[in-house]
Amino acid sequence: MNKKYFYLLLLPCFLFLLIFMVIPILVTTLSSFYLDGRITLEGYRSFLTDHYFLNILFRTLRISLLTTTICIILGFPVAYYVSKLNVKLKFIFIAAAVFPLLISPVVRSFSWMAILGREGIFNTLLKKIGIINEPIQFLYTELAIVIGLVHLFLPLMIIALIGVMENIDYDLVKAAQSLGASRFTSFIKIVFPLSVPGLVVGSVLVFVGSLTAYTTPQLLGGSRRVMSTLLYQQSLTLNNWYTASIIATIMIVATFIIIGIMNKIAQKLNPKG
């Protein structure tokens, strides 16, 4: 192959992304700086000094961070276990982890409604056992959103971690142990730092997914708005595209900031990674 023209392989995908992603994002972002025929930051000033909007922004960030943390805590041990299995078992476990991804988020949210509702499985169970007399309100709370999102994104975290953990050379662990390191020390000093790249990829996927998720907060969060449902209301219900562009831009910027922070943390944990 002539190296000179090799880059042309990128052309179809490049054009696709340019037309359907880069240009629309630029237009959206730029329009948020333009009001009444002049360039201004006024929209951002009023958004970021408004308690109503800030509440929603912080709620969204809180939910996304909580979801990411829970996914790490639940996903890390699973990924570690699965990565050490033989090929056949590993395939079964990975398939089991991926399986929920095949079901639409709408269906999954509805199933959580059946589980978390007033007369849902969970409340009925608690009542039967006698722990509670009156049903607890799970549905239409932030907790319900977090539960739904963890269920939605945990597979991504597990898969990202398995991919990296599989490639860890366990001779390193044996070497450390032969030099006197305990199992715990060798895990903390070797396995964990070497898994950090997977942790970063997984966390970014989960965080960005949670930040932008629409169906789950809409169905499980009731009237508790997050950025994506606010964006929907402003654009499609209220026809307020200016505020909608500001919300979209803030979501993009927040995503980049969080990815930046995660990369910084990753560098601290695994300086050579």
Partner 1 sequence: MKKYLLFIIVISFLFIAAACGSNSSSSDEPTQLVISTWGYNEDLERKNIIEPFEEEHNVEIILDTGNNSDRLNRVRLDSSQIDIIYLSDYFAMQAIEEGLFETIDRSNVPNIEDMYEILQAPLGEEYGPAYTVGMFGLAYDTAAAETPVTSWGDLWRDEFSNRLAMPEITTTSGPMVVDFAAKQAGADPFDADLAFEKLQELSPNVLRFYGGSADLVNMFSQGEIIIGPTMDFAFDGIVDAVPTAELIIPDEGAYAYMNTINIVKGTENKELAEKFINWALSEELQTQNAIDGLNSPGNTLVELTEEQAEGLLYDSDVIESLIVLDWELVNNELEAWTDRWNREIVE
Residues contributing to the site for partner 1 (CB under 8 A):
1-2, 5, 8-9, 11-12, 15-16, 19, 52, 55-56, 113-114, 117-120, 137, 139-140, 222-223, 225, 233, 235-239
Gap between the Cα atoms of 145 and 154, Å rounded: 14
Residue whose CB is less far from partner 1, 86 or 223? 223
Burial 127-151 (b: 16+ CB within 10 A, else e): eeeeeeeebeebbbbbbbbbbbbbb
Gap between the Cα atoms of 89 and 95, Å rounded: 10
CB of 103 to partner 1, least distance (A): 20
CB of 66 to partner 1, least distance (A): 20
Residue whose CB is less far from partner 1, 9 or 103? 9
Residue whose CB is less far from partner 1, 135 or 193? 135
Please choose, from the candidates 176, 218, 246, the residue with its C-alpha nearest in 3D space to the C-alpha of residue 28. 246
CB of 57 to partner 1, least distance (A): 12
| 59 and 258 Cβ atoms separated by less than 8 Å | no
CB of 228 to partner 1, least distance (A): 15
CB of 188 to partner 1, least distance (A): 43
Gap between the Cα atoms of 250 and 271, Å rounded: 30
Residue whose CB is less far from partner 1, 12 or 271? 12
Residue whose CB is less far from partner 1, 4 or 268? 4
Tokens of 260: 């930046």
